[in-house]
Amino acid sequence: MDLNLDGQVAVVTGASTGIGRATAIALAGEGVQVVGASRRPPESEMKGISFFSADLSKPDAPQLMIDHVIGLHGRLDIVVNNAAAGQVYEGFLSEEADGWAKTLDLNLMAAVRVMQAAIPRMKDRGGVIVNVTSVNSRLPAPDAAAYSASKAALLNVGKAVASEFASQGIRVVTVSPGLTATPMWLGAEGIAQQVASMKGSSPSEVADETAASTPLGRFLTPEEVASCICFVASPRASAVTGTEFVVDGGLTPTM
């Protein structure tokens, strides 16, 4: 299916690894001019994608990023708010205030600032904002209360922004992935490693047990999530705004 994205301009945050990287590559494959933003450079070359170094937890970084995209390409059609970090704890009482502040600043406030910087640039011709949250926004994890809360808040903000700007041709859609094979989960300091350290097991055992507990019995690939992001960002989904697409392999129970 041709997504009719050729010639559009996108910025993808957290683009050096995982879902962000897969999304940047997929959008570029559809003919989009992509700027990938992250704190660290990409692990390997991303053909056809320019890179902007940004620590989006810093208050001025989102505006600098959007200004860079406009200066480079003269327009902005798609924003993918994907940058995030997650950490597990032994319980709610072990999550200190500083950890809460850092989690909320990157996972929620960075995305809010990106939207506030991007929307004025989209008002003339319209655009799409895709906020990447998590199934933890609806299935809060007892060992990751701050992360779960940040994702629930971003889901809520997305709906509010979508309602306000729909009449101006700006769509806001949420994509909520489930268990996905990203560095956040499987990296050297990822969630599997964190849980293994607390349980006295190995990261591979934690990963295998967690995957086995899901309906699909496996981790999703970043490319599977990226495919959904590309679709909702495209004109093929022109009537879709203010809603959530859950890409979790059946993990979230519904009726």
Q: Which residues are catalytic?
A: 147
Sequence-separated (6 or more) residues with CB below 8 Å from residue 104: 146, 149, 150, 153
State residue 135 phi and psi, 5-degree precision.
-65, -20
The structure tokens 């690939």 sit at: 221
For tokens 């679709």, what's the residue? 231
Largest CA distance in the chain: 56
Rounded to whole angstroms, how far apart are CA atoms 139 and 249? 14
The total number of residues shown for the chain amounts to 255
CA-based angle 195:201:206, to the nearest 5? 55
Q: Are 81 and 23 in contact (CB under 8 A)?
A: no
Can you tell me the distance from the alpha carbon of 144 to that of 146, in angstroms, rounded to the nearest whole number? 6
Estimate the crossing angle of helix 18-29 against helix 222-233, to 10 degrees. Answer: 50
Closest CA to 110 of 71, 128, 84, 136: 84
For the chain, the straight-line distance linking the first and the last C-alpha, in angstroms and rounded, comes to 30
List the one residue out of 172, 56, 173 whose CA is nearest residue 109: 56
DSSP state of 107: I
